[in-house]
Structure 1
């Protein structure tokens, strides 16, 4: 097993998770243009991969047709890896996912990642509209995962085949916000990504379980853990804290169950939330690194020292597109850059 004892921030590659936010007063079309521009800049800045997350029935998130957007981003870039962070497998037939990602891999060879989650990525009513049948959706996940990986494996011709998809080398990741996917990824010898950017509570236990129970496989010889964080970087701490109010209001809306388009920075957060809401948002954003480059570098450095994460998956809820791009540019100065 790899010795993680000397891992530092400068040794750690970073990637981007894009929820494709719809800004207040703007459209999904505007969001797609911003995402492509951000991906092109991310490639230039040396980020490792660019992932898009499946969500449904959310007025502020435009990434519902995840595979379509992956193709859009991959087609507008040339070398950065592009993938799903993730596709919510219970919403789809495994064969359809195999065919979609087989098509993507055929279009953009050696650049596609397939990250899988077991949550619906939406509310229960919308989940019913997507799946038609919610019975045993979570408990079916290992079976559906095995079926999907069967379609992607090289094998003799069978009655049901993923064309394209069969025999293609598409990295499969398991995503999670609890210990369930950590244990399953360890058993199957797959890379694992933990969603500590919104669910930090089980991070350290999940990483421990994953590393201690990892079984080498044809897919991966040693455990590889990617960890989600929020980053809002700006030239000064003051400016970063101003920009971060968009992040706070986004999570405040999650807590209240009032989804909305992404809002511009607030002039006074204290007038928007009460004490219990503020505490809840702060708990969800335990791993949010906000400030000047020096402040963010220090915080992320300590985070890597503690978690020994193999890779960072960064998401930035910043309203102004240029400020969002600038935040990633500042971050790129002290991470391990991709070739």
Structure 2
């Protein structure tokens, strides 16, 4: 049976507070453990009024303390904003208290501004129309290049790093993290360094990626498990999976590829109710795609009052059309298609609704249906 796991952004909803969001995250993690989910991952987002998960290591420690068996981890630490040593020390500290339960997911999202700027300076790529692959929708790609030229984006990037700092290559950072955990780190001139806490930690190392680029390559070449983001970049998921599998080399920890694929999901007792609960999602994505950051998640009534333009709809089309919304049976069937087409060993579900009770119920209904139908 394919396992289900959870990715939580610790969403702040309209009328709510950061404290409410954090309490809801801890409550949902406890319930997820009861429902039988395998992992509970926390995202890293910055400058987002509607997302409280800005410091995943802190939140992971809180969730691990509130639960007892579910694996807890990051989805993902943005390596462009931290040193390898800082990451190893943070997660080594958590692992010391909750051994055997901590996942360290690593991502490149903090390092991609230079690439996006280069993309913005090139002629746009020929359009790639949406298509169905064995029942899975692969939408037309969305380009983030315009965001890279935004003065706000430049300001935010500068605030996330020390003045004049330059991020090392992602592959080098991953290698440094692995070496510090293993206790084998050596500088270019042969000097040893030991991370305490961190060295010898039993964390499970993961790479997260949204394309067939460096993240997938690094995960495959180093024999690490990989999480492909259908929920963030659905148009690129098949390329990401293929690149990972083609690059994979067996490692001591992983003899064969191990793949998680993410999906945005809202489940309710019936399709109509689920569509109502999910209706604010497009407006929420619009804020992200415009460079404003995730807004506090609106109510269905607030979303219905928004006057959509053609430009707005184009901004969010790929995300809205690939959100899995409906009754337990409807969503489970669509998730099985995602699993079968990508060959996922595990599915990572992220759900946002305005009311916390509806979000908890969505995860409960999905877990019940998934177990009843054999995954």
TM-score above 0.5: yes
Structure number with the bigger relative contact order (C-alpha 8 A, sep ≥ 6) is 1
Write out aligned runs for 1:205-284 (5 A): 205-259=239-293, 260-266=295-301, 269=304, 271-284=306-319
> Matches of 1:215 and 1:251 in 2, distance apart?
36
Partner of 1:6: none
Partner of 1:107: 97
Partner of 1:126: 156
**CA apart distance, 1:302:** 1.8
Partner of 1:142: 171
**CA apart distance, 1:141:** 1.2
> CA 1:307–1:336 in structure 2 vs 1: closer, same or farther (change >3 Å)?
farther
Q: Give the one of 311, 327, 335 matched to 1:292.
A: 327
**SS of equivalent to 1:221:** coil
Q: Give the one of 180, 183, 203 matched to 1:151.
A: 180
> Over aligned residue pairs, what C-alpha RMSD do you find?
2.1
**CA apart distance, 1:303:** 1.8
Q: Give the one of 168, 178, 185 matched to 2:201.
A: 168
> Matches of 1:55 and 1:49 in 2, distance apart?
19
**CA apart distance, 1:258:** 3.1
> CA 1:328–1:219 in structure 2 vs 1: closer, same or farther (change >3 Å)?
same
> CA 1:22–1:156 in structure 2 vs 1: closer, same or farther (change >3 Å)?
closer
**CA apart distance, 1:129:** 1.4
> Matches of 1:310 and 1:285 in 2, distance apart?
25
**CA apart distance, 1:268:** 6.3
Q: Is the 8 A contact 2:217 2:247 kept in 1?
A: yes
TM-score by length of 2: 0.82
> Matches of 1:133 and 1:52 in 2, distance apart?
28
Select between 32-41 and 117-126 the one with higher mean Cα deviation.
117-126
Give the total of aligned pairs.
326
Partner of 2:56: 66
> CA 1:155–1:324 in structure 2 vs 1: closer, same or farther (change >3 Å)?
same
Write out aligned runs for 1:186-201 (5 A): 186-201=220-235
Cα deviation code 1:286-339 (max 9, x no counterpart): 4311011121122112222211211111101211100000000011023369xx
Select between 261-270 and 205-214 the one with higher mean Cα deviation.
261-270
Partner of 1:316: 351
> CA 1:336–1:164 in structure 2 vs 1: closer, same or farther (change >3 Å)?
farther
Q: Is the 8 A contact 1:198 1:285 kept in 2?
A: no
Q: Is the 8 A contact 2:225 2:254 kept in 1?
A: yes
> CA 1:336–1:92 in structure 2 vs 1: closer, same or farther (change >3 Å)?
farther
> Matches of 2:106 and 2:251 in 1, distance apart?
18
Q: Is the 8 A contact 1:245 1:266 kept in 2?
A: no
> Matches of 1:166 and 1:301 in 2, distance apart?
39
**CA apart distance, 1:271:** 4.7
**CA apart distance, 1:39:** 0.3
Write out aligned runs for 1:23-38 (5 A): 23-38=13-28
> Matches of 2:94 and 2:238 in 1, distance apart?
34
**SS of equivalent to 1:219:** coil
Unpaired stretches in structure 1, ≥5 consecutive residues: 1-10
Unpaired stretches in structure 2, ≥5 consecutive residues: 112-151
**SS of equivalent to 1:51:** strand
> CA 1:134–1:20 in structure 2 vs 1: closer, same or farther (change >3 Å)?
farther
Q: Is the 8 A contact 1:116 1:174 kept in 2?
A: yes
**CA apart distance, 1:159:** 4.3
